[in-house]
Amino acid sequence: MTPLIVNKKNIYVTSADQYSSRPSFDSAFSRDMSKKWFTKLRNNKYLKTDGEVSRFSIANTLHTPSYVSLETVLSRASIIPESIGVTTSVTTAYPTIVKNDIGEFVYRHVKENLFFWYELHEWVLVAEPEKALLDSLYLDWNRIPTNYKMFRAVEKRDFLNATCLPLYRWFQSERFGNLETLNWRKIKAYAKRFGKVKLNYLVLLLEFYKDSEWYEDYR
């Protein structure tokens, strides 16, 4: 049996169980592997070496359902510095890391209700930069220096309160840039779908930072 082509690309999927009764196939495939006609991506998934396939397409196929997001998309949009060698994705399946000859593919888990706001380009699912930013803030929440007094200040729209300063310094340390190119109306609207009030406050603080002297000093 001929391997299946996934996403109409040169990514082939084989199953040892499915083909266990097909010794002729196993023999032929082993021969082709020895000739380096295929590159192993992970168990039972191989890439035909004579075709050109994007890392994003491979990322979508290795672990499903998933879409490319987080640092990979933010880096491509120049929101954060360039990320080298790792393709990051969001998935509703279990989180995992896949390493192969192509590179490293990282998958982080979100609930099904947060699996939205991505685009389909040439059979590849990729988050818009605004969604990638929200995914990152949501999944990296424990890394972000927030506190109760800060959010009380945001409720009063007191963005210059001293409790907010550590967060602005953290934004600088993360080297956020190109923030003015994002659609902030869209970000604030979709942040509400995460069901986390503090995330809404964090978005307001980042939007204020974008127009502040701290951001201008960084740039």
- pLDDT above 70 covers a percentage of the chain that reads 80
Whether residue 109 has pLDDT greater than 90: yes
Distance CA 57, CA 61 (A): 6
Higher model confidence: residue 32 or residue 197?
197
**Range with top average pLDDT, 32-41, 82-91, 174-183:** 174-183
Residue-level length of the chain: 219
Q: What is the pLDDT of residue 2?
A: 36
Task: Tell me if 135 sits within 8 A of 126, measured CB to CB.
Answer: no
pLDDT tens sequence across 127-171? 999 999 999 999 999 999 999 999 999 999 999 999 999 999 999
The model's pTM is: 0.84
Task: Tell me if 203 sits within 8 A of 191, measured CB to CB.
Answer: yes
Whether residue 7 has pLDDT greater than 70: no
**One-letter amino acid of 88:** T
Least confident piece of the model among 4-13, 65-74, 140-149: 4-13
**One-letter amino acid of 53:** V
Count other Cβ atoms within 10 Å, centred on residue 159. Answer: 17
Going by the DSSP 8-state scheme, the letter that residue 219 receives in this structure is -
Please give the structure tokens belonging to residue 88: 């990051």
What are the φ and ψ backbone dihedral angles of 216, each rounded to 5 degrees? -65, -40
Whether residue 31 has pLDDT greater than 70: no
Confidence band, pLDDT 50/70/90 cuts, at residue 26 = low
Whether residue 86 has pLDDT greater than 90: yes
Least confident piece of the model among 17-26, 32-41, 71-80, 194-203: 17-26
Q: Name the one residue in this structure whose structure tokens are 């001929």.
A: 2
Whether residue 9 has pLDDT greater than 70: no
pLDDT tens sequence across 160-200? 999 999 999 999 999 999 999 999 999 999 999 999 999 99
